[in-house]
Amino acid sequence: MLNRIKAIALKEIRQLKRDKRMLYVLFVFPVMLLVLFGYAINFDVHHIKMIIYDQDKSSDSRNFVTSLTSSEYFDLVGYINDESKIKEVLDTKKAQCVIVFPRDMSHKLYSKENVQIQILIDGVDANTASLINSYITVATASYSQKLQSKALAVVGRKTFIPIDIHPAFWFNPELNSTYFLIPGLIVMILIITAVVSISLSIVREKERGTIEQINVSPLTSLELLIGKTIPYVIISLLIASFVLFTGYILFGLTIKGNIILLFFSTLLFLFASLNIGIIVSSIADTQQVAYQIATLVSMLPSMLLSGFIFPIESMPSVVQIITNITPAKFFMVVLRGILLKGVGIESLWPQLIYLIIFSMILLLLSVLINKKSKTA
């Protein structure tokens, strides 16, 4: 049995060596995806274009604007002198927000009255609009506290804060969304690479007619599938290492957890993904169809149903149940836990058990489908 599996694996490796374009795609495409998605997809909002409608024209309004533009979050792109231009500014996207200072701002400040500053935000992109609102709210609270401290210092009193909150962010202190996204990108890259490569390999045998020779050989379905899988497991592990190294070089992502646990969990995930590709190959008769189906069943679930971008907890209950159809959901938890948190198997064992069960079920289905195709 081992000799037959070895023969199939060596045959597959020789075919891969001859197919230079396939090797190029397998190693270059994942890095291109990581670079493009890593830099393009980012939930952090910087350099928000801001226009000021200053009716007060005082040092206080200018100081407030300076407190906003002193950070990398806001860029002052201009002033307007007419209220009617506000709509035009937001319509033409010259600015993402307009800040309106009232005429009596300074007077109310020095009279110890509340000042109402109007913030008009382009709400087409709800996520960006909410972030802009949060940034301005935090900046305003900080500026108000400074004014309060100055006012109390004049009369010889100290600022009294009944409850002072000191938040501490673990695992990602800078709240860099890239660190959150890169593990998801790795999951998506690995499942796409595994499913597409193994499905194309088996369908190529169908197109060339060599699958008939394999079917009449003494090989069992299990031996054939294991022999076909081994080379792509090795290649996928190399790709995973290459992608992790690229993530470290470009984005500074380090492995905080156990490397052996990372290797074992990645092996389980790749085995499950390759079995999905084997099932795809049993449906498709041409490489073009196999590529389309493999891309569909690997990319969409890994992007939409795995928690890569959209939190699973926020989805409807029915959709949360459907998310269990993809191993990417569980490997996502494992990868983020090992890479970002440094947690061990005591926290990740439920996900690992699921990956083992998922892999065994898919392997059984693959063997049954392959036996059926032999007898057909």
Percent of the chain predicted with pLDDT > 70: 90
Q: Confidence class of residue 153 from pLDDT cuts 50, 70 and 90?
A: low
pLDDT at res. 160? 59
Output 367 or 233, whichever has higher pLDDT.
Answer: 233
pLDDT at res. 173? 76
At the second CATH level, the architecture of 48-154 is: 3-Layer(aba) Sandwich (3.40)
Query: Which residues lie below 8 Å from residue 26, measured CB to CB, with a gap of 6+?
Result: 193, 197, 235, 239
370 forms beta bridges with: none
The DSSP code for 173 is T
Taking the C-alpha atoms of 225, 228, 229 and 232 in order, what is their torsion angle to the nearest 10 degrees? -160
pLDDT at res. 315? 86
Q: Are 326 and 358 in contact (CB under 8 A)?
A: no
Residue 20, class by beta-carbon neighbours within 10 Å (0-12 exposed, 13-18 middle, 19+ buried)? exposed
Does 139 have pLDDT greater than 80?
yes
Q: Confidence class of residue 158 from pLDDT cuts 50, 70 and 90?
A: low
Q: Confidence class of residue 163 from pLDDT cuts 50, 70 and 90?
A: low
pLDDT (tens digit, 9 = 90+) per residue, 297-328?
888 888 888 888 788 888 888 988 998 888 99
Whole-model pTM above 0.85?
Answer: no
Q: Indicate the domain borders of the chain.
A: 2-42+177-375, 48-154
Query: Which residues lie below 8 Å from residue 315, measured CB to CB, with a gap of 6+?
Result: 323
The DSSP code for 120 is E
pLDDT at res. 154? 63
Give me the helices (H) in the chain, please. 2-18, 20-40, 59-69, 85-91, 105-110, 126-154, 177-208, 210-215, 221-251, 259-283, 287-304, 317-322, 328-336, 345-375
CA 215 to chain centre: 41
pLDDT at res. 141? 84
The whole-chain average pLDDT of the chain stands at 83
Does 84 have pLDDT greater than 60?
yes
Rounded Cα distance, 186 and 47, in Å: 28
Phi and psi, residue 119, nearest 5°: -115, 115
Rounded Cα distance, 131 and 298, in Å: 32
Output 104 or 43, whichever has higher pLDDT.
Answer: 104
Does 178 have pLDDT greater than 90?
no
